[in-house]
Structure 1
Amino acid sequence: MIRLRDYIANWENSPLAELGHTPWAMTTNAASIIQGMISRLDSSYRVTNSIAIHESAVVEDGATLKDAVIIGPNAFVSSRSYLRGGVFLDEGCAVGPFCEVKSSFMLKGSKLAHLGFLGDSILGENVNLEAGVVVANHRNEWTGKEITLLQDGNEISTGVRKFGSLIGDNSKVGANSVLASGTLLKPDSVIPRLTSVDQQAKQLISAML
């Protein structure tokens, strides 16, 4: 069983906690979840269709926002970034230029630098993804395609074909690193630059032999 509070210390105080969803249920249903959140926002947000931007946030010209999106207080979205499929940026979050964010939740102070991809994932508070980081959300090499996770040596079935990573508070992922689908990073994890993280690698190799 994955408990989000083990990865995100302030999870119980998050507006998302009341949903009681698994991480993969949250990302799979991100657009509808965020649409529901938009209906409860106060007047400090400018809402156009299904896009809500806080009055203190900055969204540069040239950014593309699709489907349900919430851009929180003092958040920043750079020109040439692409947000789609349900995206939640909490207070102080930042998305750099030439980044794509799909069906993901970034909590307070988390940042995705330029040339990055974040798919179907949940980031805790103050997570930093350096330039060129790819948080993959699909297992192209698996026959069944269903994403499974490994937690403390136990395999967890998700029942979904797209899920990225759950990244704990204060974690750092170095430039040009790749997190394979189903990655779980505990709080304060540090991934060096140019690293490939695949927690299912042994299972994948065994299946190929």
Structure 2
Amino acid sequence: MINCCIFEDDTVSNLFPITETRPIYDCQVGMSTLFEKFYQSFKYSNITLHARAYLKSTLQESYKKFPINNINTGSPCLFYNGRSIITEELVNKIKKIDPNQNTLFTYKGTIIVAFLKGDLLEIAIHLLKELPNNSTFIKQLRSKCIVTELDECNIVNAPWDLIEFNKLYLETDFKNSKKLGIIKGHLSPFTSVYDESNVFIDKNSYVEDFVVIDARKGPVYIEQNVIIHAHTRIEGPVFIGKNSTLLGGRISNSTINQLCKVSGEVSNSIIESYSNKAHAGFLGDSYVGRWVNLGAETTTSNLKNDYSDISIKFEKNKIQTNKQFLGTMFGDHVKTAIGTKLNCGTIIRTGSIIFNHTFTTKYYPPFSWGTADKKTYFKLETFFLALERIMKRRNIELSDNYKNLYIFLHENYTKK
């Protein structure tokens, strides 16, 4: 049985705000996380996770069966970059690795796969005591490995890359599920389904009258215990996670994870678990973290009036995205006031409460309170009081590990 280690590298800050509270491999694309996609291909391996030290305790709550930052040195190990989204082609290449040879797969200066043993394994373990730099990693290993430069690799270099890959993996994940054309849930008499062979609805899900499920352009996968209210239009590819509720509106080319409430128009977006967009408003080409609440009529712009590429602001840096369509990246536990209108390419980082927003403001630091211009922070004790109320509504208790993570983040971000 092979040993595997899924690791973070030193580009994590390039993926903020979505990786401020979790590794990239714990983020959703298509119907599952990057980790779950890797696990489906290597489930019979001994898998170890590598992450920033301050994430270890909360990550362990979600991945109870997997060691974290504790690599077995007794036998060879396959190191896999957590930013890489697994494909069938890459799995086949990995399975052809000669177990007697140290091997590297690289892609444009990034290590994707490293199969290592002996002294090189010890070097890799030493490098992983911190977030490894790819150039250093390659320099240390290249001379003693068989090196293959991959022609293609689906790698996440920026938060919006998940949105870019989402449609592809919605279709791939649906195909791999082998559940095409199976409807276990309740369809009301006046529900319209187009291309039923491209639809899956799990048990105990309820679809009211006057709902349209259109799977002609892509699959629609609805997990169990989902409620879809009348006057909802779903245009595939779309994934709806278990225990979520759709309250009307139009959903297209999007992933909505478990225990979400969604209404209005959602297009080309990913909404992580426990987040609400329960009212009217447009969400387009956006990523919404966990435990986010978008107030009524919150709307994201995703296209400039002159159709030129969108830039973002991150801290003091202006970054060109080379994207014509890009909405807002919401970190975990972000809340917006009613009527919030967000410019294209807006970044709102973890724990921010947004009100009195001006449309030209495109960057909110972590734990922002009100407007970014005043540089006022969400007080920690107030943050936890709100957190406890919100999580209690979902019958989830605020754990000490989760609390300690946010104490750490708040102290580090608000002292700057």
TM-score by length of 2: 0.43
Q: For residues 196 and 104 of structure 1, what CA distance do their matches in structure 2 show?
A: 23
Of structures 1 and 2, the one with the larger relative CO (CA 8 A, separation 6+) is 1
Q: For residues 224 and 235 of structure 2, what CA distance do their matches in structure 1 show?
A: 19
**Who is 1:174 aligned against?**
337
Structure 2 residue matching 1:61: 3-state secondary structure: coil
1:91 is the counterpart of 2:273: no
Residue deviations 1:26-69 (CA, integer Å, cap 9, x gap): 323432232123234486x8561400001211112321011200
Give 1:153's match in structure 2, choosing from 313, 316, 324. Answer: 316
Pairing 1:49-68 to 2, within 5 Å after superposition: 49=215, 50-68=219-237
Kindly indicate which of the two structures has a greater share of residues assigned to helix: 2
1:108 is the counterpart of 2:270: no
Moved more, 50-59 or 17-26: 17-26
- The verdict on how the C-alpha distance between 1:189 and 1:103 changes in structure 2, with shifts beyond 3 A counting, is same
1:82 is the counterpart of 2:250: yes
- The verdict on how the C-alpha distance between 1:11 and 1:111 changes in structure 2, with shifts beyond 3 A counting, is farther
1:23 is the counterpart of 2:192: no
Shift in Å, 1:153: 1.1
1:70 is the counterpart of 2:232: no
**Who is 1:205 aligned against?**
none
Q: For residues 126 and 39 of structure 1, what CA distance do their matches in structure 2 show?
A: 29
Shift in Å, 1:150: 1.0
**Who is 1:206 aligned against?**
none
Shift in Å, 1:144: 6.0
Q: For residues 131 and 57 of structure 1, what CA distance do their matches in structure 2 show?
A: 22
- The verdict on how the C-alpha distance between 1:200 and 1:167 changes in structure 2, with shifts beyond 3 A counting, is closer
- The verdict on how the C-alpha distance between 1:11 and 1:148 changes in structure 2, with shifts beyond 3 A counting, is same
Q: For residues 259 and 176 of structure 2, what CA distance do their matches in structure 1 show?
A: 20
Give 2:357's match in structure 1, choosing from 195, 200, 206. Answer: 195
The question of whether the paired residues in 2 share the 8 Å contact of 1:110 and 1:126 is answered with yes
Give 1:2's match in structure 2, choosing from 10, 14, 19. Answer: 14
1:33 is the counterpart of 2:198: no
Give RMSD over aligned pairs.
2.3
Q: What percent of counterpart residues are identical? A: 21
The question of whether the paired residues in 2 share the 8 Å contact of 1:94 and 1:111 is answered with yes
**Who is 1:123 aligned against?**
288
The question of whether the paired residues in 2 share the 8 Å contact of 1:70 and 1:89 is answered with yes
Shift in Å, 1:157: 1.2
Structure 1 residue matching 2:268: 3-state secondary structure: strand
1:12 is the counterpart of 2:25: yes
Q: Which one-letter code corresponds to 1:172 in the other structure?
A: K
- The verdict on how the C-alpha distance between 1:35 and 1:89 changes in structure 2, with shifts beyond 3 A counting, is same
Q: Which one-letter code corresponds to 2:352 in the other structure?
A: S
Q: Which one-letter code corresponds to 2:254 in the other structure?
A: V
The question of whether the paired residues in 1 share the 8 Å contact of 2:15 and 2:159 is answered with no
Q: Highest CA radius of gyration, 1 or 2? A: 2
Q: For residues 177 and 333 of structure 2, what CA distance do their matches in structure 1 show?
A: 27
Q: For residues 38 and 173 of structure 1, what CA distance do their matches in structure 2 show?
A: 33
- The verdict on how the C-alpha distance between 1:11 and 1:93 changes in structure 2, with shifts beyond 3 A counting, is farther
- The verdict on how the C-alpha distance between 1:149 and 1:60 changes in structure 2, with shifts beyond 3 A counting, is same
Unaligned runs of 5+ in 2: 1-12, 35-83, 86-154, 184-197, 200-214, 364-416
Unaligned runs of 5+ in 1: 202-209
The question of whether the paired residues in 2 share the 8 Å contact of 1:118 and 1:134 is answered with yes
The question of whether the paired residues in 2 share the 8 Å contact of 1:83 and 1:100 is answered with yes
Q: For residues 105 and 41 of structure 1, what CA distance do their matches in structure 2 show?
A: 20
Q: For residues 8 and 198 of structure 1, what CA distance do their matches in structure 2 show?
A: 27
- The verdict on how the C-alpha distance between 1:169 and 1:40 changes in structure 2, with shifts beyond 3 A counting, is farther
Residue deviations 1:57-97 (CA, integer Å, cap 9, x gap): 11123210112000001011113x1011x11011101112x
